[in-house]
Amino acid sequence: MLNGPQKFREQIDILGKTFGDRIEQVTVPESGRTDVPVVRVAKGSLGGLLSFMKTEPGFEYSYLSDLTATDELTRPRFDLVYSLYSHKHGCRIRVKSGIDEGEAAPTATQIWPGANWAEREVWDMYGIRFSGHPDLRRILMDERWQGHPLRKDYAIRNRQLFESSQPVRPGLLEEKNPGAGTTGDDEDIWDGARTIVNIGVVHPATHGALRIVARLNGETVEKSYLEFGYTHRAKEKLGETKTYHQFIVYTDRLNYCSSLINNTAYAMAVEKLLGVEAPPRAVWIRMICCEISRVIDHLICVGINAVDLGAFSFFLYGYHQREEAYTLIEALCGARLTTSYTRVGGMMYDAPDGWERRVREWADKTRGVVDEMDRLLTGNKIWRKRTEGIGVFDREKCMQYSYSGPNARAAGIDVDLRRDQPCMYYKDIDFDIPLGENGDVFDRYAVRMEEMRESLRIVVQCAEKIKTGPVWCENKMIRIPEKDQANGTMEGLIHHFKIFMTGFEVPPGEAYTTFEAANGELGFYIVSKGGPVAHRMRIRGPSFWHFQGLEAMIRGHKIADVVAALGSINIIAGEIDR
């Protein structure tokens, strides 16, 4: 729960006393330009302020939600943006710092090891260097790429094709301290010899286009590095060129296993900037959609995780139920996967007659299937041996690497944005948040199984509470006219034309909207400078942060367990690469 303006005023007073005039500006939500307080700090004090905020009692913003930049085309040219979240106080804050072209920013990797990849992305996309960063290479684009695509002066169709794929870099797998991994090990039967194995980009166990390069001692992974960007589709750049309405289709293709959740989170983000609210029926439909999507996302995650470890029939049970869910979704919007069902301020269509009843029937049946799957696999000796104690990621590491969602809850971190920062009508719904203990592959599996049952509970409650009513808000500026109005009246036709050709205006401001997606915290950070197109459309995909932890997760494990660990954190390439 956001602790209100009182808390922030106290915090800002303390910051003023501690940092004095190094705090350049504080923007508060009351100004109407932002959703949470924004603290702008001089570049030299950035590192100090961040570590102060992380540890100081009363602040404890120990969770780095997001790290990104914006291109302002003024002096200083770029703004670094750190979105912080305090689990303890349940509040958010943003820290900004201006930085000019050619300057280096201080790295935050000492404060949060998880900042590593985010900083690499900022370097890749904006060309901002971070001093003290351990490994500042390109991350999404090819290493040979020229230019930085998210800069405003980079043309959106400026393509560069290479003859060969990005080479393996064995140098990255060498120990900084030679001999550290080889001496003093009596069981080192390989006499110091090591093999470098490349897994991916095309490999059955990589769940999309990813690459793991590992240095092996026998079968044990000593060190590895991860590579992705093989499905990068420039969605953030597209967000800066398409209107808010046009961008809805691109949100489908983030986490394509649960696109309705992305649709909903995006619609909420734009609605927050506009200051409009969707009507109750639309919100209830969105909630049902989100929970159905969560179930089918988890079904695919646990199913594929089991396939990778040899339990194929388990996957088929779940997959049939997915097909049934797709039938429900098709009834709503005509599409199975890429739904584009929400609109800013409403929904594309109302749900058809009797849909709520079909949802309840599906939920009952799916509960039975989940129970059946549970009986099939959970007690299985082989499954438990392959998953218990494997890929352990404890609370501390989860916090360091900004883990969220089921992967964090498997380690016992009691966080769920549906409860902690309630949006829609989640506070009227009764549901539990399952927690694990050890944070191993088995706990991640068990948490997902339990979450499916909770989601089905939510679905049934929503289907009972939903009432008939409009699915569009009354605001004529953003509401798309009905077809009969567009075809039958002059006013409706003009209005329809305006919305589709030029889009609707969004007032200047910025907001970081989060929602508990199937994988964790999905965030949209939208900066508007007025007009129908966003100035910055940042997407915070949970998989990006989860994948980063894999290197630490698999170190010291056998190569076969890498597959188990990778499957259990549910990596969706569309969400990492964006």
Partner 1 sequence: MGLNGEQQNKTGQAGFLTTRLEKFIEWGRKNSLWPLPHGTSCCGIEMMSTLAADYDLARFGAEAVRFSPRQADLLIVAGIINLKMAPVLKSVYEQMSDPKWVICMGACASSGGIFDVYSVLQGIDNIIPVDVYIPGCPPAPEGLIHGLMRLQDMVQAGDTHAHRRMRALGMRTWG
User: Tokens for 237?
Assistant: 């750049």
Q: How far apart are CA 303 and CA 317, in angstroms?
A: 9
Beta bridge partners of 562: none
* CB nearer to partner 1: pick between 164 and 177: 164
Q: Which of 94, 96, 223, 237 binds partner 1 (CB under 8 A)?
A: 237
Cis-peptide, bond into residue 201, ω within 30° of zero: yes
Q: Which of 113, 127, 149, 549 binds partner 1 (CB under 8 A)?
A: 149
* Binding residue count for partner 1, defined by CB under 8 A: 50
Cα-to-chain-centroid distance, residue 44: 30
In angstroms, what is the minimal distance from the CB of 308 to partner 1? 12
Using CB under 8 A as the criterion, what x/- string covers residues 544-573 for binding partner 1? -----------------------------x
Q: Which of 250, 383, 393, 403 binds partner 1 (CB under 8 A)?
A: 250
Q: Which of 234, 348, 433, 477 binds partner 1 (CB under 8 A)?
A: 234
In angstroms, what is the minimal distance from the CB of 329 to partner 1? 12
Q: What is the side-by-side strand order in the sheet with 220-227? A: 195-199, 211-217, 220-227
Only one of the segments 46-54, 280-288, 335-343, 514-522 lies at the binding site for partner 1 (rule: CB under 8 A); that segment is: 335-343
For residue 239, the SS3 value is helix
Q: Does 522 bind partner 1 (CB under 8 A)?
A: no
Q: At 356, give phi and psi (nearest 5°).
A: -60, -40
Other beta carbons within 10 angstroms of residue 141's beta carbon come to 18
* CB nearer to partner 1: pick between 180 and 316: 316
Q: In angstroms, what is the C-alpha Rg of the chain? A: 24
User: Tokens for 271?
Assistant: 């609605």
Only one of the segments 33-41, 79-87, 251-259, 422-430 lies at the binding site for partner 1 (rule: CB under 8 A); that segment is: 251-259
Q: Which of 155, 189, 490, 501 binds partner 1 (CB under 8 A)?
A: 155
Q: Which of 41, 50, 111, 141 binds partner 1 (CB under 8 A)?
A: 141
Only one of the segments 229-237, 264-272, 385-393, 517-525 lies at the binding site for partner 1 (rule: CB under 8 A); that segment is: 229-237
Diameter of the chain measured on Cα atoms:
85
Q: What is the side-by-side strand order in the sheet with 78-86? A: 23-27, 38-41, 91-99, 78-86, 63-71
In angstroms, what is the minimal distance from the CB of 489 to partner 1? 31
**Contact between 93 and 84 (Cβ < 8 Å):** yes
Which of 569, 19, 30 lies closest to 305 in space, CA to CA? 569
Using CB under 8 A as the criterion, what x/- string covers residues 291-330 for binding partner 1? ---------x--------------xx--xx-xx--x----
What is the DSSP secondary structure assignment for residue 105, as one 8-state letter?
E
* CB nearer to partner 1: pick between 327 and 487: 327
Only one of the segments 148-156, 403-411, 413-421, 437-445 lies at the binding site for partner 1 (rule: CB under 8 A); that segment is: 148-156
In angstroms, what is the minimal distance from the CB of 347 to partner 1? 21
Only one of the segments 38-46, 100-108, 253-261, 563-571 lies at the binding site for partner 1 (rule: CB under 8 A); that segment is: 253-261
**Contact between 195 and 179 (Cβ < 8 Å):** no
* CB nearer to partner 1: pick between 256 and 355: 256
For residue 268, the SS3 value is helix
Q: Does 337 bind partner 1 (CB under 8 A)?
A: yes
Using CB under 8 A as the criterion, what x/- string covers residues 199-228 for binding partner 1? --xxxx---xx-------------------
Q: At 532, give phi and psi (nearest 5°).
A: -85, 0
In angstroms, what is the minimal distance from the CB of 314 to partner 1? 12
Using CB under 8 A as the criterion, what x/- string covers residues 174-203 for binding partner 1? ---------------------------xxx
Residues numbered 338-377 forming contacts with partner 1, rule: CB under 8 A: 338
**Contact between 474 and 448 (Cβ < 8 Å):** no
In angstroms, what is the minimal distance from the CB of 315 to partner 1? 7
Residues whose CB is less than 8 angstroms from the CB of residue 232 and which lie 6 or more positions away in sequence, other chains included: 140, 141, 577, 578
**Contact between 296 and 320 (Cβ < 8 Å):** no
- The b-or-e profile of 405-438 (16+ CB within 10 A means b, else e) is bbbbbbbbbebbbbbbbebbbbeebebebbbbeb
In angstroms, what is the minimal distance from the CB of 150 to partner 1? 10
Residues whose CB is less than 8 angstroms from the CB of residue 38 and which lie 6 or more positions away in sequence, other chains included: 25, 26, 27, 93, 94, 95, 96, 510
Torsion of Cα atoms, 227 then 578 then 561 then 143, to 10°: 0
In angstroms, what is the minimal distance from the CB of 394 to partner 1? 32
Which of 542, 448, 543 lies closest to 226 in space, CA to CA? 543
* CB nearer to partner 1: pick between 231 and 548: 231
**How long is the chain?**
578
* CB nearer to partner 1: pick between 45 and 259: 259
Residues numbered 406-465 forming contacts with partner 1, rule: CB under 8 A: none
**Contact between 523 and 513 (Cβ < 8 Å):** yes
In angstroms, what is the minimal distance from the CB of 31 to partner 1? 34
Q: Does 538 bind partner 1 (CB under 8 A)?
A: no
Q: Does 163 bind partner 1 (CB under 8 A)?
A: yes
Residue 365, amino acid: K
Beta bridge partners of 382: none
In angstroms, what is the minimal distance from the CB of 160 to partner 1? 6
Q: Which of 119, 240, 252, 440 binds partner 1 (CB under 8 A)?
A: 252
Q: Does 159 bind partner 1 (CB under 8 A)?
A: yes
Q: Look-up: residue for tokens 């303890």?
A: 88
Q: Look-up: residue for tokens 């995909």?
A: 541
Using CB under 8 A as the criterion, what x/- string covers residues 256-285 for binding partner 1? xx----------------------------
Torsion of Cα atoms, 426 then 289 then 544 then 162, to 10°: -160
Q: Which of 101, 110, 135, 162 binds partner 1 (CB under 8 A)?
A: 162
- Given the rule CB under 8 A, which residues bind partner 1? 140-142, 149, 154-166, 201-204, 208-209, 229-234, 237-238, 249-250, 252-253, 256-257, 300, 315-316, 319-320, 322-323, 326, 336-338, 573-574
